[in-house]
Structure 1
Amino acid sequence: MTSPFRNAILFVVLAAVWGSAFTAIKAGLDFFPPVLFAAFRYDLAGLLMLGYAVYATDRWRPRDRDEWLLVGIGGAFLIAAYHAFLFVGQQGTTSAAAAVIVSLSPILTTGFARGLLPDERLAVLGIIGLLVGFLGVVILSNPDPNNLLDTRTVSMFLIFLAAASFALGSVLTRRLDTGLPIETMEAWSMLLGALLMHGVSVALAESVADVEWTLEAMVALLYLVVVASAAGFLIYFDLLERLGPIEINLVSYAAPVAAAVTGLVFLGEVPTIHTWVGFLFILTGFLLIKRNAVRAELVRL
């Protein structure tokens, strides 16, 4: 199989896997308390990723303060905060809508980078792209001016906080150039994030006794652990090395399509017109912000 064709197949597979993960989350929430569900996912996924790090790298654990700080940031923001907000938020909205809001992450990453990384600057079109992306979220959420605290709007705001947590964590990790293999960083971040989410789960009075251990519950959990987390991240690492960060970011904009299809097929969720219009605004914002990098990639291809 030629490399471009192989990359294209893996890109589609990754988009399908990560998009359908939103549907698996939504399905599993019928059987698990939300934060405990997220913690269970990364208990198991972290162990799988750590095993892979031991196999594939020569540094399976962090060694110094900066490397542990990198893991701490990843565990707190990329795993714990992101997934706690996401899993709680998905209780009140559809899989496709959640995936669309999360696709705002690359835009938010650019916004945080402008404030926290001195070499990152936004031109006028970049600022317009940020505003267009935010407008997309407003269109998608379609808030009722007379009831801004209804369940759906609050759920979408929580998912926005999830995307913001992931974006902030991405920028903060870029400030630490440690040389720690990404597989090792991901494994320990998953385990730390799972531990933090167990603490949050206890604080929210969630209990293992509240879990309904049905076949559907186990399928949803194992799909998230084995397919969306373990296999998904392995494909991601492979594509990141081959394609670079710009092209791999486009997965965020293919995933909502997979979330919409799987949500419709398995859960009977029908995306609204606001979902798709909001998605187009967010995609447009991304293209405005990353226009030079996207143009360079198109020329290279």
Structure 2
Amino acid sequence: MDQARTPGWLIGVNLLVLYLVWGSTYLAIRIKVETIPPLSGAGIRFVVAGLVLYGWCVLRARRWFPLNRREFGGAAVIGVLIIGGGLGLLTLGERTVPSGLAALVIASMPLWVAVFRLLARERPHPMVLFGLIAGFSGVVVLLAPSGWGGPVAFTGLAILVAAAIAEAIGSFYTPRVRLPENALLSAGVQMLVAGPLLLVTGLIVGEDVDPASWSGDSWWALLYLIGPGSILAFGSLIWLLTRAPVSVATTYAYVNPAIALVLGWLILDEQLTPSILAGGALIIAAVVLVLWGERHAQTRSGTAKARYLDA
């Protein structure tokens, strides 16, 4: 569909879905891990969602394996990094870290991507450098113990930083590997590779999977993460990337952390300390600068190409 012919209200509706659903997944994860083992629960989420996405693509293609081995290998690697490493570690970290604070730490992911591009000797736009300085200043403010406003385990924060780095590595390598042209198929394969990996890892570390002991709230949170969180929102993102400018579609990168903060404060009574607000503002501003600088550089070079995947 021609972007110029896409009704503005349809773009607005899909943006709203993306903001509200992905912005609320941090809250849902926090509720889920109250009684559901983090790694096993994440594995269940992505196995079920992956089966739905992959099954849909198989039905449409009328082939049970509608991709070649190279595409499968690329999707598998990215799935292990972004879903297994990034989202798996996010779930693990939220056992001890408030959902809003977790969202802000994960929001630093584009900053790490920019760092990897620097290490690869790619020449960044000056705005990217300003964004890196602001963003990592925000991370330092968030990690300062005096700004937590409560008992937050440093181990949990370290796990979340590792999650952001894992997602960044996956995002950095995404345009460098061969993936299925169908983004829904690619996501389905990534989930079906990472999901079982998370389940096995959960069993290895001794997680006790006893559905009878899971609370009703945790069950609802898991179902929400499977349906809206892993299927509906990603469908909206794919729709936006094909019918709206990339700069509009990817605004979720700096809108979602703000939504996560507000929801955590309203529903779970999470504290919004001055340090959290200041650090969060620096990170969100930095992400805006980095994404703006990247798009400006891509536009000037005429080689703009982007693929995105989130919680």
* Normalised-by-shorter TM-score class: 0.7 to 0.9
The answer to which of 59-68 and 261-270 deviates more is: 59-68
Q: Distance in 2 between matches of 1:290 and 1:156?
A: 24
Q: State the TM-score, normalized to the length of structure 1.
A: 0.87
Mapped to 1, the partners of 2:66 and 2:123 lie a distance apart of 32
Deviations 1:262-292 (A, max 9, x none): 2233222232222221121112222332334
Equivalent residue number for residue 133 of structure 1: 135
One-letter identity of the residue aligned with 1:214? S
1:78 & 1:66 partners in 2: Cα distance? 18
Question: Match for residue 265 of structure 2?
Answer: 264
Q: Is the partner of 2:41 in helix, strand or coil?
A: helix
CA spacing shift, 1:138–1:260, aligned 2, 3 Å: same
| Alignment match, 1:143 | 145
Displacement, 1:62?
A: 5.4
Q: What is the match of residue 159 of structure 1? A: 160
Distance 1:250 1:96 in 2: 18
Distance 2:222 2:177 in 1: 33
Equivalences for residues 48-67 of structure 1 within 5 A: 48-56=52-60, 61=65, 63-67=67-71
Which of 12, 17, 33 is equivalent to 1:13? 17
Kept in 1: contact 2:25–2:229 (CA 8 A): yes
Classify the secondary structure of the residue corresponding to 2:210: helix
The Cα offsets for residues 217-262 of structure 1, whole Å up to 9 and x where unpaired, read as 2111100001111111111111122234433332021112221232
* CA RMSD across the alignment: 2.6
Matched to 1:216, the amino acid is D
Aligned partners of 2:112 and 2:130: how far apart in 1? 13
Letter in 1 for 2:184: E
Query: Structure 1 residue 23: deviation in Å?
Result: 0.5
CA distance in 2, matches of 1:253, 1:163: 14
Task: Give the deviation of 1:78 after TM superposition.
Answer: 1.3
Match of 1:222 in 2: 223
Residues 178 and 267 (structure 1 numbering): CA distance in 2 closer, same or farther, change over 3 Å? Answer: closer
Q: Which residue of 1 aligns with 2:103?
A: 99
Instruction: Decide whether the 8 Å contact of 1:57 with 1:181 is kept in 2.
Output: no
Structure 1: runs of 5+ lacking an equivalent: none
Amino acid at match of 1:190: M
Q: For residues 105 and 158 of structure 1, what CA distance do their matches in structure 2 show? A: 13
Cα 1:132–1:56, aligned 2, differ >3 Å: closer, same or farther? Answer: farther
Aligned length: 291
2:80 match: 76
The 5 Å alignment of 1:1-301 reads: 3-56=7-60, 61=65, 63-116=67-120, 120-143=122-145, 151-209=152-210, 212-292=213-293
Q: State the SS of the aligned residue for 1:208.
A: coil
Contact kept in structure 1, 2:254 and 2:288, CA below 8 Å? no
Deviates more, 1:280-289 or 1:241-250: 241-250
Q: How much does 1:174 deviate?
A: 0.9
Q: CA 1:191 to 1:204, structure 2 compared with 1: closer, same or farther past 3 Å?
A: same
Structure 2: state its 5+ residue gaps: 299-311
SS in structure 2 at match of 1:91: coil
Specify the code of the residue in structure 1 equivalent to 2:89: F
Provide Cα deviations, 1:54-99, integer angstroms capped at 9, x if missing partner: 3455776354332122122122111111122101111111111111
Q: TM-score, normalised by structure 2?
A: 0.84
Structure 1 residues 18 and 241, CA gap change in structure 2 (3 angstroms): same
Superposed displacement of residue 33, structure 1: 1.1
Whether the 8 Å CA contact 2:75–2:180 is kept in 1: the answer is no
Q: Which amino acid aligns with 2:266?
A: V
Contact kept in structure 1, 2:127 and 2:292, CA below 8 Å: no
Q: 1:160 to 1:211 in 2, by over 3 A?
A: farther
